[in-house]
Amino acid sequence: MRILIIEDEVDFANALSRGLKNQGYAVDVAKDGEEGWELGTVNPYDLVILDLSLPLMDGLEVCRLLRRQRPDLLILILTARDQISDRVIGLDMGADDYLVKPFHFEELTARIRALLRRDLRVREPILHVGDLQIDPAERIAWKGKRRLDLTAKEFSILEYLARHKGEIITSEQLIEHIWGEDEIDLFSGSVRVHIYSIRRKLGNKSDSTRYIETIIGQGYRLIDPETNLA
């Protein structure tokens, strides 16, 4: 799940970003309305957290433009108590939910989970590959009856591979969709390490390599080992 925070209060935005990354989301931060609109147009975010009072371009305008371009994008508005009428306009302009500042971080994450769950249940329920089950809304994966003990990043990788089962996915694709922009330099070498760890958690050596194939020089592919088909 990839989230864009558009918020000009830098400390606040960075704190939110850190907290959400700890929960396994890939997060980018835009510090004004124009940057927010640009990033939101270029990258395939699942959800945008949008402050209303922003420099360069007003939050409501950003909301309107993003909504027009990406009808399926989830937009959560952050608003001050005295902007309550803006908030109503925001919902009219296509925001999915709002939160009044100040709020507890737990409340934000609960709203995000609720929005994603509502959205995912409609778009795509539990993903199945062989006896693997991957629940994107609850962020839990099972192999048969065994719940897999995956880190947030490992879950995101497995989820992405499952959404594209049978397709060859490059490390670059995984990085683009799962890692936040400022994390890329730090982590780009570690896709292989994460894949290794996921395979280990999927089961014994021979079994686990059959779920995730390495296509030398190209990337990775998740398959159903029983049928060898996606």
Of 4-12, 34-42, 79-87, 153-161, which segment contacts Ca ion by CB under 5 A?
4-12
**Binding residue (CB under 5 A) for Ca ion from 1, 8, 111, 225:** 8
- Residues 179, 113: Cα–Cα separation, whole Å: 19
Give the helix/strand (H/E) hosting 163. helix 152-163
Q: Does 86 bind Ca ion (CB under 5 A)?
A: no
Which amino acid type is present at position 211? Y
| Count of CA atoms in the C-beta half-sphere (13 A) of 45 | 32
In the complex with Ca ion, the residue whose CB is nearer, 8 or 28, is 8
Work out the end-to-end distance of the chain between its first and last CA atoms, rounded to an integer number of angstroms: 22
In the complex with Ca ion, the residue whose CB is nearer, 10 or 215, is 10
**Binding residue (CB under 5 A) for Ca ion from 23, 53, 109, 209:** 53
Of 49-57, 76-84, 120-128, 192-200, which segment contacts Ca ion by CB under 5 A?
49-57
In the complex with Ca ion, the residue whose CB is nearer, 17 or 133, is 17
Of 48-56, 89-97, 109-117, 162-170, which segment contacts Ca ion by CB under 5 A?
48-56
In the complex with Ca ion, the residue whose CB is nearer, 8 or 86, is 8
- Residues 60, 150: Cα–Cα separation, whole Å: 38
Binders of Ca ion among residues 204 to 223 (CB under 5 A) are none
Helix (H, G, I), strand (E, B) or coil at 111: helix
Task: Please work out the total of residues on this chain that contact Ca ion, with binding judged by CB under 5 A.
Answer: 3
Q: Does 51 bind Ca ion (CB under 5 A)?
A: yes
Q: What are the b/e assignments for 36-67, b being 16+ CB within 10 Å?
A: bbebbeeeebbbbbbbbbbeebebbebbbbbb
CB of 97 to Ca ion, least distance (A): 18
Tokens found for residue 194? 């994460």
Residue for token pair 């499952």? 162
Q: Note the residues at the interface with Ca ion (CB under 5 A).
A: 8, 51, 53
